[in-house]
Structure 1
Amino acid sequence: MWRLIQSNRLQSRFSVGLRYYAKSTKKVSIPATNNLKKLNFVIPNYISVNKLSNLLNCRSEQLVEDLTGLGFANVTQNYILSREYVELILQEYNYELPASRRLLNAQTVYDELKSPINPRLLNKRPPVVTIMGHVDHGKTTIIDHLRKSSVVSQEHGGITQHIGAFQIVTPLSKRKITFLDTPGHAAFLKMRERGANITDIIVLVVSIEDSIMPQTIEAIKHAKNSGNETIIAITKIDKIKQPKERERALERITADLLVHDIQLEQVGGDVQVVPLSARSGENMDLLEESIILLSDVMDIRAEDSIKIAAEGWVLESQVKKSVGNVATVLLKKGCLQKGNILVCGNTYCKVRNLLDGAGRPVTKAMPSDAVEVLGWREVPEAGDQVVQAKNEAQAKKYNAKRVALLQVEEQAVNVERLNLERGIKKEEEEAQDKDVNSEANSDSKLGIGPKKVNFIVKADVSGSAEAIKESIAALGNGEVVCNVISSSVGFPAESDLKMAQITDSKVLCFNLGSMPSEVINNRKGVDVRQYNVIYKLIEDVIQILTDNLEPVYETKHVAQIDVREIFEFTLKKKVIKIAGCRVESGKISRNSAVQILRGDQVVFDGKLATLKQGKNDSLEVSKGSECGITFENGFEGYEAGDKIMVYERQRVPRYL
């Protein structure tokens, strides 16, 4: 569904035009004839009003007037129209348009490669189950118990920071289940959204100690939006030994779930609740039984024949030193084998090898299998759909078509921005002619905005790179903002360091292990920072942004000196005035910043030229001592009775 929503957004511009047309009440002066005119030119993707008027052989002023009548705002002769708008206008001008073509965009271009559904090939497949919930509520421990491994001990900071895909054979029913272990930290919002939308069943983990927490609420929202079936797993029940206390805790969680509109079985709903302990193994067999039972009720099926095009989703992607570009693909349809050609995003792949979750080579992958696919020309993006092509030529063709559509979509954004800027400029010119808001207009032209602090993100897998980018991109305020120049997989390359040098960016490396010394101590002087836990990375970025806030200082008086008498001293026929002073409080040093006050008036603000006690220079004079002082720049406008205030400018801590 979320892919369909993204696709529909790209059609919104044409829909806006239709709404404008529907609302228009002004009569448009179009040719009054029932005969369709033949179109004698190719409709471009984008064209200005002035050039379109030339092609239509009409006055540009008349076309501007007609467009205004159709509902277009701030139309000028330089206003740029998209192909969809031009087709709408040509219909109004009674032109015969080419046969309607299917509206393609970068998200739907690969749909032409997909095979139609064949009910005869539908067979049962293992359910895909996503584990979701709050940080440290025991998600990975559940999978750890099921597959008898030690994932938890290998994780930095005790949290899962990738989507992990594992297929297990349940010990009781000997049935396969594919588990996706999604991270619970708030930074991995996008990864959890992806997990909720490519799965069949969601196991929502709730700790018996903490009940509903922020990421639990978020997971509930994703589960509802995805429309997937849900099972509630209440974990860590071994921590409460007393039966009555455990029962009260379970009742509290049940009430909290009902508040969030989770229809539990005990109140007449269809959502199963399984209290369990993954550490002790208590009720883990009940969780397995619940998943199998629910999958049987759902009757989950998929086409698993080699006769149809394989389809799936990229869970993770990365660059491995020994094998190159690798992507973890969850297969949803078809049969994937070595030698198949796959397209995904802006890249394609001739499958060189398939590896299972344990890193062992496999000959083929069936629906619900999660396998590592080797042989990608470029690293695909996590979350992109994978579709099988007939051959490499077809893959290249559709890749090129997708790149072209992406360029058109990018042009659309630029065109809309250009039209908006021209509309604003037109309004400003009209306002200036009327002498209205001239001051605001001049301010708007200054283009003053927040300071951008640049970062380049490098991570071990694309899901982490995406999640980090999403997490830090929103940091900042009206004065300073975070600007992610790029985010990608692998060690920082020479091009990354050069880009960081040009853009004055800091390179944030996440989970990359030990990096070469030539990267850390690079000759370009680029600041390269390494992290294993995302909390630390986000905290560091916040600190960097805070350090880039405009400094605010406050003045603190640390000493007071009274000018008692003025002495004159002749040196080389030049008379020098010296202030004879007494330190009343604090201490004054040779490099002190001072103000001379005469009443409430500041007559001098600067530093000392000399500080003497008797005939000797002094570095510092303390309270109760007398001294002679002269001031920088030859200032001698002081008088007996003035007060000298020694001050320090202290930076006031600021926060985002």
Structure 2
Amino acid sequence: MSKIRVYELAKMLGKSNKDLLSMLEDLGVEVKTHMSSIDTEVAQLIEETVKSEEGKHTPQMQKEETMVKEKQCVRVRKTATVKEVARLIDVPVAETVKTLVDAEIMAPAGTSIDEAILLALGEAYNIEFQFEEEGSAPKEEGKTLSAGRPVFHGDHMEPRSPIVTVMGHVDHGKTTLLDYIRKTNISAREAGGITQHIGASTVDHEGKKIIFLDTPGHEAFTAMRARGAQATDVAILVVAADDGLMPQTREAINHAKAAGVPIVVAVNKIDKPAARPDRVRQQLSDIGLVPEEWGGDTIMVDVSAKTGQGIPQLLEMVLLVAEMEELKADPTVTPEGIVIEAKLDKGKGPVATVIVQQGTLHRGDIILLDSTWGKIRAMLDSRGRQVSKAGPSTPVEVLGLTSVPQPGERFILVENEREARDKTAKWEQIKREAETVTSKRMTLEELYSQMKEGEIPQLNLLVKCDVQGTCEALCAALEKMGTSEVGINIIHRGVGRIAESDIMLASASNAVIIGFNVRPDKNAQKIAEVEGIQIRLYDVIYDVIDDVKVALEGMLTPTIREEPLGQAEIRQVFKVPKAGKIAGCYVTEGTIKRSARARVIRDGVVVWTGSLSNLKRFKDEAREVNAGYECGINFAGFQDFREGDVIEAFELIEERRHLD
């Protein structure tokens, strides 16, 4: 029995993937994701259901209804899509697309409109379309046209293009893959494809844009995350089919997972004779990335960056993942975004490539970054052309900054240059003060005190070893030490020296680095000292386990035990001016200590529990009074005691717990 994927059926029916998944759920069909396959019989049932639900809106019926009505006038934006027009005229998207097909116009739901599309729809539904004037004030939500149809202007959240980072092991084809994608789009430039990278590449696929960050490697990816910035929506993990899983592949996966970014795997070099894509899938499954065709939820596409095989499907999968993530932004709010690349150009001065994440950035805006500011005197798009504005997910090169910022810095809009100067001066002062104090990070010895303050729920470790076998054995032993109360989170494990990228990942995740028979290089050591990252070096596995065990035991909530000290009887109550009431007591057993906790018991019932504020033997202060002696006692915040009350003194003892 043949099968079809959910996303393919959704595309055929003009439905969104989420709508189709919801329909399948209503029909009792179990599917995991839009990549799941269903039988053609189920697909036919879905198609019939869609036709049944939308039958009243067929083109013929719609034509018959509109024949007797006055021709309606609907205003649309020049940049609207077929889907948006369908919403405006209150016709299902699938039927709108089919109407265009009947008119011999192939225009999927996401296609931008043109006069031919509007003419065909106007004839089919007896509607006259008019373009809105550029710059005209948007109508308020809820207002309707004379024909009675709603205008959707109230919600400014709009879909935005996905931002993609390509990651993977050295020589697995990351750069070749990007180069092929760029070359394909350059050759199709007249048809709308583009690419002239400025730290980011903009690619067109089926009328939709994808932004590829050109910053290579996971080091920069994590450096941005360490600054609290997140510019990536989807990560493409490139794995060579003839090489398989390698150390940097694992590292890239850990970096993407730590950032919470969905992964699409590109199994590259399938054109080579030694290619074994199924072996790659098995290796990735073993570390938690199970292919969707094997029942998992990770999309994997076989590609050849050399021949271009599978590249269109890869781009389609990226767009599908982006659709499921429902990436949206508001182009009308105050602009903000992130720096992805910066340099000092001899002719242009400080130049930064930024990606706008919210709002719309205009030439002439004054922006404030973490370390600098500037008034934008020019903006260049990915083709090197000057532009006057840039909306969400748009990469642009900005000129006019006072100095060169660092990748990962965020920018916001400010009203005037004075505000920008003042805030920059304050930040520089704070930075100078911070540099006088050594940056302090978590150490194993501090875990217990931090746990008491509720700051550390688990111990984060980054493990680097000399060989893979030792690494697997050590990590397995460490992971077994976790309990239901305290856990171990190994954010990354790898083979080889401790590098700068390890320090950055540890910094971003507040982790301790465990090095077994390896050492940090000089640059990594310097960065660790600046960042305050603790590096523990070992050559005996048992030493690692013992140290981590001590740290975990320190994270366990201690047991509180009550230790009885003694009892006393209140035999007389004295009233002292300014001091209030004092209990004249006789110690009947044990010892009463000044530092003790106490209970006041009356007729067998505890009436108060607290601390002693004073303990005296006659007129002298006393640290403790033993059985058989008299004393005077003041209670902290309690004076409602009486003759005959019994005082129980006790101490609370914290006992450190141990792992079983």
TM-score normalised by the chain length of structure 1: 0.41
